[in-house]
Amino acid sequence: MIERLHTSDRMSKIVKHNGVVYLCGQVGVGDNVTEQTQDCLARVDALLGEAGSDRSHILQATIWLANMADFQEMNAVWDAWIPSEHAPARACGEAKLARDILKVEIIVTAAIKP
């Protein structure tokens, strides 16, 4: 069974299937990549909690940066957020994001807690 939460014509914020939760890309508000990354990760926390998971169950993360020059600044926030010994498979690349003000977008797949 596939369960979709917060669904619109275009997308669902959460999709659950076979013990796995898929989140749509999360962006954040803020004036710099640190603030936007913190806000993104707070949104990820909230959606994972709603889906019955948490950051220690993340299987994979894809991070898009508008500018790879922000890589270390984003990583400082990420490294403080991800639980020790629970680092997921992860990719990070540079991309043109949906709006010019956006500096980071994070996409997460996680296991649902047993």
Task: Report the pLDDT value the prediction gives residue 69, as an integer from 0 to 100.
Answer: 98
CATH code of 42's domain:
3.30.1330.40
- DSSP label at residue 83: P
Strand 89-94 with 58-65, pairing: parallel
User: Which residues are CB-neighbours of 92 under 8 A, at least 6 positions away?
Assistant: 62, 63, 64, 65, 71, 74
Question: Per residue in 84-103, pLDDT tens?
Answer: 999 999 999 999 999 999 99
**What is the model's pTM?**
0.95
How many separate domains does the chain show?
1
Round to whole Å and give the CA distance between 97 and 58: 23
Round to whole Å and give the CA distance between 99 and 61: 21
Tell me the two tokens of residue 71.
């890589």
Tell me the two tokens of residue 88.
């997921």
* Range of the structural domain that residue 99 is part of: 2-111
Q: How confident is the model at residue 114 (pLDDT cuts 50, 70, 90)?
A: confident
